Amino acid sequence: MTNPADSPAVRRLDDWNRDRLESLAATHETPLYVIDLDRVTANYTRFSSAFPDADVMYAAKAHTGKAVLEAVLEAGGTIECAAWGELQRSIDAGADPNELQYTAVNPPDHDLDYAAELGAENPGLTITIGATDTLERLAERGYNGRIAIRINPGIGTGHHEKVATGADAKFGIPYKRVPAVANRVREAFDLVGLHAHAGSGVLTDDLEDHCRAIERVGDMARRVGDDDLEFVDVGGGYGVPYREDEPPLDLEKTSDMVREAIGDLDAQLKLEPGRYVVADAGLILTEVNTIKKAPDTTVVGVDASLSTLIRPAMFGSYHPMLNVTAPDRDAEPMTVGGPVCTSADVFAHDRPIARPERSDILAIGNAGSYGYELANQFHSQPKPAEVALEGDDARVARRRETLEDVTRLEQ
């Protein structure tokens, strides 16, 4: 295993061992997710080292696979969860429920039932609320434990408007109402922290807006009494460069700016990186099945689709691509799409790629974050397998679904 301290700040597709990738595709078929656990560990260690006095919690929603959760826990991390299933899966991976943080967003009754019961048995569990309704519903369930208040700072950042949560009314208590809600929490619960999350996919150029939101969180912490709080959680959202010419996040600058923005606090700083930990640790291998010349482009058909990776269709996201089989062929503009019957099922438009041929293996990079988590069964396509790499070892972390898996709940 590579020493995490020596790992590069960003891993490009060219950095993967192409012979190993071709062997994985041949052994496990395609489409195939590949997650490198050594890279997960290195990314978490690098980030946490930049914030040595903070509690760095991995945001499980980025990739909730058991192998990933185990790697984070082994690296000394704790876990932030956004749904009851993530809580249970974290516990199954070995997390101490007393160290988990559950960020409830319009939680269904079942989620609150589970969280309240878990908190009763494990008083260290923290529940983050973003609506006073959630307080009332927790009280109805007999919960009187640890509460953090999610603040809506009114400032959103990130790679797309759909992830700029800091300015979205769906998330958090309106800023001006926080002091009154804090007093209300103290009457019936244990107020332990404040929380905010400005957005997702934050890179160095986005830090100014990101830190304006953090500054507001620090101001509010001092206003409600940071000496009476255990922590102030400024969320995650720290990004990785998806495009080949984008530089990686400057962690030293990020650490300096975040600390300056939050200001002097008696409470501990918390952060919740998710994408940063897993994005460049994962990729998708897909096989070329069709080459079609069209008037304005060459269409390359592959066996992966938007049911494999939905981010390009959902967010217009750019994911780097590499012809693993023949990277040295002349590059030509290609439109790469899958077998799903919609124009949204396209991974790249007129992208220069080493000229593919049928049966070539292509790699789709930066798929470790919100890749498998958003995979679906549209067109009755079974979800792909996922292989976990650790040192020289490779193991199936999730087997490939069958059509029986797709239909087994039907009656």
Asked whether the beta carbons of 300 and 334 are under 8 A apart, the reply is: yes
Contacting residues for 245 by C-beta, under 8 A, at least 6 apart: none
Question: At 334, phi and psi to the nearest 5?
Answer: -130, 145
Q: Is 85 annotated as a binding residue?
A: no
> Residues with catalytic annotation?
341
> Pick from 279, 146, 179, 168: which is nearest to 213 by CA?
168
Tokens of 154: 């009114």
User: 53 near 404, Cβ under 8 Å?
Assistant: no
Q: How far apart are CA 28 and CA 382, in angstroms?
A: 14
Contact between 47 and 56 under an 8 Å Cβ cutoff? The reply is yes
Q: Which is it for the CA torsion 54, 55, 60, 63, positive or negative?
A: positive
Q: Which residues of 278-296 are buried (b: 16+ CB within 10 A; e: fewer)?
A: bbbbbbbbbbbeeeeeeee
311 is in an annotated binding site: yes
CA distance 258 to 300: 44
Q: Is 146 assigned a ligand-binding role in the annotation?
A: no
Is 274 annotated to bind a ligand? Reply is yes
- As a whole number of angstroms, the distance between CA 241 and CA 319 comes to 10
Residue with tokens 């009457």: 187
Q: Is 237 among the annotated ligand-binding positions?
A: yes
272 annotated as ligand-binding: yes
Binding site residue list: 237, 272-275, 311, 370
Q: Residues forming the annotated binding site for substrate?
A: 275, 311, 370
Binding residues for pyridoxal 5'-phosphate: 237, 272-275, 370
